[in-house]
Amino acid sequence: MKKLEELTHLLSNELSFIDLPASPSNLYDPLRYFLTLGGKRIRPILTLLGAELFNAKADKAIPAALAVEVFHNFTLIHDDIMDEAPLRRNKATVHHKWNQNIAILSGDVLFVKAYQLIAKQDPKHLPDLIQLFNKTAIEVCEGQQMDMDFESREDVSIAEYIEMIRLKTSVLLGCALELGAIVANASENDRKHLYDFGQHIGIAFQIQDDILDLYADPEKFGKQVGGDVIANKKTLLNIKGFSLANEEQKTELKNLYNSSDFNHKVARTRELYILVGARTSCEEEMQKHYSQAMKALAEISVDEGRKSDLIQLADSLMVRIS
């Protein structure tokens, strides 16, 4: 989709122009580095498409779009510290390349930059933009905390897991779209439907990610297949697997947790999740949210033709499974 590539390029370019002073270099060099690590810039593209959907020029929503991307990068810098991740997009994370204190503080300053970008939009939209942005930022933090809490819990329910991914990753997609809709003076009803579209696409995408981690074609996937299983990570597959397994299968799954033969561990877990119906159940859950997204999009009171970019973008996110 040529348009998406163009928007990715436009936004990466705009990001490189964000005003960052030279000094203190230990505060701003990490940000110059991190903001140019690349990525598909899906979130800010959503903001631009959200504005276009309601007949505004994409240009009009660029500050809000950049704010979303900058906020997303802030959360990545802090999450990488919490996850002790050495790499992000195959490059050293900020806390790894500099140090942890610098990562905390440059993350903080990046967060303020997001608000500075939002504040560049027309003052008449500011109360709505800020309110949505604040609410979303808090939810993203709540989702990250739930994710961390889940690490030490054995009784995470399916509903709790879906709520965690909704907060941690999906509300930001809804927010990104709605910010664009606010800039384009969309009605509250339309704004809400567009937000729901983004939120459900986000949940579907995240479930797909869980499934792909174990069932993707290794040659197409680009990262180690089964990484979540090897790390005994809580995913929807894992939670559904245990909830659907009989006692014997549960024991086998638990024993696999401690297996040091990773090839066997991944292969057998993959089989078991199919046998107990976890894979199918996850795919159904994913499909349910995809359908809810499309239903929300259908509710929006603009010509169907105007929705094609969003449908294409959603489909481009979801086709990775086959």
Question: Which residues of the chain form contacts with a second copy (CB under 8 A)?
Answer: 24, 26-27, 78, 81-82, 101-102, 104-105, 108-109, 111-113, 115-116, 119, 123, 126-127, 130-131, 134, 137-138, 141-142, 144-146, 148-149
What's the closest the beta carbon of residue 236 comes to a second copy, in angstroms?
Answer: 19
Residue number with CB closer to a second copy (4 or 130): 130
* Residue 207 near residue 236 (C-beta atoms within 8 A): yes
What's the closest the beta carbon of residue 100 comes to a second copy, in angstroms?
Answer: 8
Q: Which of 234, 245, 244, 249 is nearest to 156 (CA)?
A: 234
Q: Which of 227, 246, 224, 223 is nearest to 235 (CA)?
A: 227
Residue number with CB closer to a second copy (120 or 254): 120
Determine the Cα–Cα distance for residues 237 and 219; give it in Å rounded to an integer: 22
Longest dimension (CA), the chain: 62
What's the closest the beta carbon of residue 156 comes to a second copy, in angstroms?
Answer: 13
- Distances in Å between the Cα of 51 and the Cα atoms of 64, 172, 173 are 10, 16, 14
Residue number with CB closer to a second copy (149 or 217): 149
What's the closest the beta carbon of residue 171 comes to a second copy, in angstroms?
Answer: 13
Strands 87-88 and 91-92: antiparallel
Q: How many CB atoms lie within 10 A of CB 310?
A: 24
Residue number with CB closer to a second copy (24 or 218): 24
Residue number with CB closer to a second copy (95 or 279): 95
Residue number with CB closer to a second copy (29 or 209): 29
What's the closest the beta carbon of residue 162 comes to a second copy, in angstroms?
Answer: 16
* Residue the block writes with tokens 């690590």: 37
Determine the Cα–Cα distance for residues 61 and 27; give it in Å rounded to an integer: 28
What's the closest the beta carbon of residue 111 comes to a second copy, in angstroms?
Answer: 6
